[in-house]
Structure 1
């Protein structure tokens, strides 16, 4: 396979979170690449980072920059590797280099803010933030977490328990690992009395359209497409990153106010009511509740829910506007990139519904840049495939196909095989259901000694028209050329049967001539003076001969023939047995003199 094919498979494995497999595939892509490719090293660096193999991630990131020192993403990879190695100064330096190349790079801006916060905490010993970690001073902390229904399941992990115990003696370690392990957010929220539940609506009502899955095809302009319910993706949770927000009058709210339990409960009540109305397909009422939730706490998830309701309502332009608002707000308050990716994906789905396929692809790609998920990747690939199909259908023109056929015939007559192939290829594009195009191109390919490609074209011609005898004959000729005699004989048997059914045996002479050619050439290299042992060693390599010799019935018939030749003649009256005996005679297993 090519480097691009290995890379595509590596990307798919990465999206499925099979990071070891993705590393293996990116490595193969690097090995077969004709020249150093910075994106391959970058992708492998990302996979190593996901496995927390930061040393190897750093090596690949450095190689990425060595190949292309002006590629901003390479420095993001470098920054991530240094961050994993706890070298925050180098990580900060790398991300700042990203911004010097791409001043609008969102990831770099976010990581720089996070690293500066860590460095500031390291310098100040956590300062005023230390009050937040007094909760770890409880001597019964671990036992209480094990009893709490929200954290009991998490505390079954010994490594997580060990972390919590370590935080009791070193709270500063919590600030460093808080963003790396989402389970710590749940534990912290539980200790602080914050509700992080996000029971988003799902379309399970029997009155609603069936939710689309990755295996379903992308709709054409005349088809309808259902979309995932708002927040049905498990990764879309309420805002987990620290943020400032604004109240209804636009005043800035401090973090403690945003996380106030009463405000959160009030917003969740609005959202819960919106979910119920969404399931009842009362979309206007649901939108009103989601608006109230967002006004209470500016959590971008509520906007995503509202966009889903607007989509189901059929108000596609408003859906896009809401998602764009969610993205802008999410950037402002540094919302989890997974939620922003969901907003981008919903814009793509909306454009898909509007049959604006290029716009849909654009936003699916943007979503994947933020966060790769198999669902969005499938939508992207399906939309790209749909565009190709639409373009191919628009190119179909029977009249121009006939012009290309005649042009190909002219080139073929002049023995200009390459141009004949080009002309017949154009014929296939203009009329993909015409079996003649594939068969004619197979004839030209055979003249160029491209027999495997000729066989594939003949198979396609037969698929388009199972009664097209010329395709069978050309396929058998190509199979003989590559010494696949058994397959050629099978092809000719099919040709003879089809010719008898549809053409009254018009092509029987040509088929018989090819049959004899294949049969005689099949064992043409045998030595008439070879010993029986040599004969058996040679013919054992032929699958058909080996099968005949292993058949107990044929062994019995051969033994009878050895003792009484007339018995063998009697068995020859059976066409199937006669064919097998003729094969053994041709192979030299049975000698007639």
Structure 2
């Protein structure tokens, strides 16, 4: 498929809101494009933005404006992604740039207004909503949560959650007007608002008892209870202390893990792969960073333990998703999977994983590997398709169609013959004969060249090539083809020499024959300006031969034994410069 066809498919899936498929086809269109196309990056950016993957949306949008910095819509894409990432000041600048390029741009005006509203609301508290609602997979998780799955069937509620995700501060007030949002926030924090307060004495208290404040708190509206418990939890100094201690411990484990990784790298360079793997395992145990798994897979690959390396890469991808690892690290795991499967000669699996790697992070190296694999797959498929017996069946069918004058089906069968036996020169020559019948002379010449390449002694291919060139009035090329054919034929016994000479004379005659309405004088004037004729007449050697021929015509016959001289004299005879009578 062409880039335009892939783009059309992408547009179709985008219209039906199948954004993942749209991304796939816009990506294929980008790969198929001979030159960078800013529109394709813009379209894919819109798909990523629709999936709330604003990081990738921004990457494509920035690539779009890099290719075409005068296209206002590209800056709209950049601004929309920046807005989604919470980069409000940058989004404002990008929308402003779009309006500079196109003052009437309605999308830029609306976007700028939305960003300015968000900036104005920036100083208002978000009650911790930014952290709670930051997960890009939040909607899907809420749909799977038993406590919120029924609520998430309401498209309007889903829209509200998405608005809170995009701008927590501006939409914090939504919780006061929609109890369902309180239920969602409670589920995110891990509090069940439908359960009574927990504690050993809670069941013993009676309504109206003054011995404890718990019953009174329980009678308050759930919104107040939720808000208070959240604020109290946030203000506890002990929790802050615990967070600091956890952070210090995490930093310490990370440092120890990196030290183990560094040892592993040294061992890897020394080709002590088992020891390197042990160190990478140690690093992974100390701190969950899929870099260590990627390194371990590299050591396993170099060791030749491909199946284990595959499992390690798959683990890196799965853990990376859960840890929300940098997409570049996940791309590296996919790319290594591609390399491993390539080594195992499973080319289709290799292509699949290189493609997955490019979906995560696009690099020239991975793209080149994918294209190389795809080329190899085609080559392998062509080799697997070779079958001499089926090639002969196709040749006979082609001959049958040719004799009936069914040229399209004859071409089809001879093409099948070529695929089944690509080294058989007859397939190309036979198809050339049919293409000439269809007046497709340039293609006929190409097929004849391929036939000659496969079998330089195949005289019929030379003759068919010369006929096609003659039909295109390429007379000098006809002479060259027939001269070569004559030399080859003589070395093989000269069975086709008469046919070659007749075709040669025919070409000569047509080359210099009078054009309709042209007088003999005009014909001679035109022929005398022919570059080849002029070159022959200006050749000192030919001048001497022609001068000798005027005094002794029999001498010309002796000179004709020289092939080069013979060719030139025949050209002059055909042009009428030398008259034989």
TM-score of the pair, normalised by structure 2: 0.59
Work out the CA distance in 1 between the residues paired with 2:6 and 2:563. Answer: 50
**Deviation for aligned residue 1:385:** 2.4
Equivalent of 1:310 in 300, 323, 335: 300
Match of 2:69 in 1: 53
Equivalent of 2:471 in 475, 478, 481: 481
Q: Which has the higher contact order (CA 8 A, sep 6+)?
A: 1
- Count of aligned pairs: 416
Question: Are 2:395 and 1:405 equivalent residues in the alignment?
Answer: yes
Taking a change above 3 Å as real, the CA distance of residues 82 and 361 of structure 1, as seen in their structure-2 partners, is farther
Match of 1:530 in 2: 522
CA-to-aligned-CA distance 1:86-134 (integer Å, 9 cap, x gap): 66957999xx9xx89x969xxxxxxxx9x999967999xxxxxxxxxxx
Work out the CA distance in 2 between the residues paired with 1:77 and 1:442. Answer: 58
Match of 1:506 in 2: 495
- 1:401 and 1:427 in contact (8 A); partners too: yes
CA-to-aligned-CA distance 1:278-309 (integer Å, 9 cap, x gap): 12222111011112223333332221111101
Work out the CA distance in 2 between the residues paired with 1:334 and 1:546. Answer: 78
Match of 2:344 in 1: 354
Taking a change above 3 Å as real, the CA distance of residues 560 and 387 of structure 1, as seen in their structure-2 partners, is closer
Work out the CA distance in 2 between the residues paired with 1:47 and 1:379. Answer: 22
Question: Are 2:567 and 1:579 equivalent residues in the alignment?
Answer: yes
Work out the CA distance in 2 between the residues paired with 1:422 and 1:319. Answer: 46
> Residue 406 of structure 1: SS of its match in structure 2?
helix
- 1:476 and 1:488 in contact (8 A); partners too: yes
Match of 2:94 in 1: 85
Question: Are 2:22 and 1:22 equivalent residues in the alignment?
Answer: no
**Deviation for aligned residue 1:348:** 1.6
Taking a change above 3 Å as real, the CA distance of residues 455 and 564 of structure 1, as seen in their structure-2 partners, is closer
Work out the CA distance in 1 between the residues paired with 2:62 and 2:553. Answer: 71
CA-to-aligned-CA distance 1:459-512 (integer Å, 9 cap, x gap): 11111111111111111111111111111111111111111112x000111111
Match of 1:271 in 2: 261
- Greater fraction helix: 2
> Residue 85 of structure 1: SS of its match in structure 2?
helix
Work out the CA distance in 1 between the residues paired with 2:341 and 2:391. Answer: 34
Work out the CA distance in 1 between the residues paired with 2:491 and 2:481. Answer: 15
CA-to-aligned-CA distance 1:419-441 (integer Å, 9 cap, x gap): 21112112112212111111111
Work out the CA distance in 1 between the residues paired with 2:389 and 2:273. Answer: 51
- 1:558 and 1:568 in contact (8 A); partners too: no
- 2:3 and 2:28 in contact (8 A); partners too: no
Work out the CA distance in 1 between the residues paired with 2:6 and 2:487. Answer: 43
Which structure would you say has the larger Rg?
2
Q: Which runs of 5+ in 1 are unaligned?
A: 28-41, 63-74, 105-112, 124-250
Question: Are 2:408 and 1:418 equivalent residues in the alignment?
Answer: yes
Taking a change above 3 Å as real, the CA distance of residues 12 and 253 of structure 1, as seen in their structure-2 partners, is farther
1:527-566 counterparts in 2 under 5 A?
Answer: 527=518, 528-530=520-522, 535=527, 539-540=530-531, 544-545=532-533, 548=536, 554=539, 557-558=542-543, 565-566=550-551
Question: Are 2:335 and 1:345 equivalent residues in the alignment?
Answer: yes
Equivalent of 1:463 in 453, 457, 478: 453
Taking a change above 3 Å as real, the CA distance of residues 349 and 419 of structure 1, as seen in their structure-2 partners, is same
> Residue 372 of structure 1: SS of its match in structure 2?
coil
Work out the CA distance in 2 between the residues paired with 1:337 and 1:415. Answer: 60
> Residue 522 of structure 2: SS of its match in structure 1?
coil
Match of 1:438 in 2: 428
Equivalent of 1:517 in 506, 522, 531: 506
Work out the CA distance in 2 between the residues paired with 1:361 and 1:457. Answer: 32
Work out the CA distance in 2 between the residues paired with 1:497 and 1:391. Answer: 39
- 1:310 and 1:319 in contact (8 A); partners too: yes
TM-score of the pair, normalised by structure 1: 0.58
Taking a change above 3 Å as real, the CA distance of residues 413 and 576 of structure 1, as seen in their structure-2 partners, is same
Taking a change above 3 Å as real, the CA distance of residues 415 and 266 of structure 1, as seen in their structure-2 partners, is same
Work out the CA distance in 2 between the residues paired with 1:548 and 1:294. Answer: 82
Taking a change above 3 Å as real, the CA distance of residues 392 and 83 of structure 1, as seen in their structure-2 partners, is farther
Q: Which runs of 5+ in 2 are unaligned?
A: 8-25, 42-57, 96-110, 119-132, 142-160, 172-241
CA-to-aligned-CA distance 1:239-281 (integer Å, 9 cap, x gap): xxxxxxxxxxxx9998954884x65553333222212211222
